[in-house]
Amino acid sequence: MGVTHEVFNQPPPLHDYDLAGADPVLAKAVVREGAAWAGPQIEAFGRRVASEEVITWGAQANQHLPRLQTHDRYGRRVDQVEFHPAWHQLLDLAVSAGLHSLPWETAPGEGGFPARAALTFLAGQIEAGHMCPISMAFAAVPTLRLQPEVAAEWESLQLSRVYDPSFRPATEKEGVLLGMGMTEKQGGSDVRANTTTAQPMAGGGPGAEYLVTGHKWFMSAPMSDAFLVLAKTSSGLSCFLMPRFTPDGSVNAIRLQRLKDKLGNRSNASSEAEFEGAWARMIGEEGRGVATIIEMVAGTRLDCIIGAASHMRQAVTQAIHHVRHRKAFGSLLIEKPLMRNVVADLEVEAEAAVLLMMRVAGAFDRAPVDEREALVRRVLTPVAKYWVTKRCSEVVREALECLGGSGYVEESIMPRLYRESPLNAIWEGSGNVIALDLIRVLAREPGAVEALRAELEESKGHDRRLDRAIGRAFADFSMGDAEYRARSLAESLALATAGSMLARYAAPEVFGAYAASRLGGEWGSLYGTLPVGVDIESIIEPAVPV
């Protein structure tokens, strides 16, 4: 009486393991994309973020959500967001590892982007919310550099590896983070419908001072030290850098109205903001705001791919760990033929996502010094952004089901991953926006199409199913109704590209399963429908977390 039963047949907690090594294709991809020098840092960082301490920070940051304080006790506006200490510990870890700065610390072609992609991929598996300010800070640099005198004031602080969360002017800090405010409630993705206006304080023009009045429907990471925002001048939509403090040290007129009550990404504050004559400086050419800020958007789209791949990887790792330890109906779950089919199918999808992620990161790295890589980057970024982010939710949901009821409770990381899984398909252009961006590339930049075609055709002869997939992908371009068929075009290119990469860089068993299912048609509508004859053991075993 009163004695609880013994706890058994439960998997051990998954922490203190080799997070980088849990992905079978990551390490070789890092070397192949030019970042072999970062291998030791990546391995050490993976073990650090997979430690029990850091995993606990991730849980705490999502249990204790950010809180908006608009006024102090005396009624003065303060417009600040308070975070749990775990949030700051996560950001300090990310900043000190250079997740916001690494590509700008290395020369083009030296592996900065692939190294950062691998590190970000690892950090995002443990906690996704803090990756938002890191991503925007990383991606803001090319846009900032379009106005050299402004970049001269901000870049050294922006690239500092010191995380300083204090609320004070940037000139008094050792490191800063930059955010972004583009969308408004009447326009969303259609930023040209923005109504925010900017009035010059003197002559106006690039680098000049303006007062900005209007609002932003989504302004994430509102405790950033400055934001790149869009506003209209007499010449059209323009880009501005808006700091939290004005040059005289006063708090800028950025009024945080409320924090978004979001489906996921809850540790990260996303705000609605009003600008009441907020001080800002123009970045880039007046009236060319979209073209200016698109430099930042390109980087954040890369991070959408990385984020989705990281969620897929962590979900599948959790599933593999669980089924290797949990018994049901007389044996371990991993010994059940149908469960093995499900887990192997998920693993194939996760590895394809990582290879696409790393290939895009490599193209970003080499684009400034290699014209062909610049072309590949242009076409492959929307392809991978569309496909990997779309597959993420389905992979996470199926992996969650492998854990059964245990995966449905908040003590598991799985509900958090599932809530997070749609974000990267929405952020920086939802599916239709990205598919239409691809159509524009296909129509306006035939060189990009030919560069990708040449790369994929290097895999021809490897497998007849892959050959057919590559042929179908590029034959589709000659057909009409491109806008109506934009998603189909993106899908066919993604399947062919992933297949080509798996053929060259994954285990033969993984490619064999991919070719039979995704390319050969021996696949159902859901995961766990691989055909008979697939070497399941050779797919699953390399992905076991150690």
Give the 3-state DSSP-derived string for 42-95, with helices as H, strands as E and coil as C: HHHHHHHHCCHHHHHHHHHHHHCCCEEEEECCCCCEEEEEECCHHHHHHHHHHH
Rounded distance between C-alpha atoms, residue 426 and residue 436, angstroms: 14
Q: Is residue 301 part of a domain?
A: no
pTM: 0.96
Stated as kind and residue range, the H or E segment containing 443 is helix 431-444
- Tell me which residue range forms the domain holding 254: 173-288
Strands 270-283 and 197-200: unpaired
Quote the tokens at residue 47: 């073990």
Rounded distance between C-alpha atoms, residue 533 and residue 491, angstroms: 26
* pLDDT of the residue at 2: 65
Q: Any bridge partners for residue 68, and if so which?
A: 81
Q: pLDDT tens-digit profile of 86-127?
A: 999 999 999 999 999 999 999 999 999 999 999 999 999 999
Quote the Cα angle for 379-304-315, to 5°: 120
Cβ-in-10-Å burial (0-12, 13-18, 19+) of 372 comes to middle
**Number of structural domains found in the chain:** 1
Rounded distance between C-alpha atoms, residue 228 and residue 75, angstroms: 29
Q: 298: closest CA among 220, 358, 380?
A: 380
Stated as kind and residue range, the H or E segment containing 254 is strand 254-259
Cβ-in-10-Å burial (0-12, 13-18, 19+) of 420 comes to buried
Strands (E), 144-235: 178-181, 197-200, 209-220, 226-233
> For residues 11 and 325, is the Cβ–Cβ distance under 8 A?
yes
Instruction: Specify the 3-state DSSP secondary structure of 484.
Output: coil
Rounded distance between C-alpha atoms, residue 516 and residue 350, angstroms: 17
Q: Is residue 181 part of a domain?
A: yes
Cβ-in-10-Å burial (0-12, 13-18, 19+) of 457 comes to middle
- CB atoms under 10 Å from CB of 442, counted, come to 19
Q: Is residue 98 part of a domain?
A: no
Q: Is residue 357 part of a domain?
A: no
* pLDDT of the residue at 378: 96
Q: 114: closest CA among 42, 178, 43?
A: 42
- Dihedrals φ, ψ of 123, to 5°? -65, -40
Instruction: Specify the 3-state DSSP secondary structure of 445.
Output: coil
> For residues 545 and 318, is the Cβ–Cβ distance under 8 A?
no
Q: Is residue 259 part of a domain?
A: yes
- Mean pLDDT of each 10-residue bin along the chain, 546 residues long: 80 97 98 98 98 98 97 93 98 98 97 98 98 96 96 96 97 96 88 93 95 94 96 96 97 96 96 97 96 92 98 98 96 97 98 98 98 97 98 98 96 96 94 94 92 94 96 79 91 97 97 97 94 96 95
Q: Is residue 307 part of a domain?
A: no
Q: Is residue 164 part of a domain?
A: no
Cβ-in-10-Å burial (0-12, 13-18, 19+) of 139 comes to buried
> For residues 154 and 169, is the Cβ–Cβ distance under 8 A?
no
Strands (E), 25-93: 67-71, 77-82
User: Looking at the chain, how many residues does it have?
Assistant: 546
Q: Is residue 283 part of a domain?
A: yes
Q: pLDDT tens-digit profile of 254-304?
A: 999 999 999 999 999 999 999 999 999 999 999 999 999 988 999 999 999
Rounded distance between C-alpha atoms, residue 25 and residue 97, angstroms: 22
Stated as kind and residue range, the H or E segment containing 274 is strand 270-283
CATH no. for residue 203?
Answer: 2.40.110.20
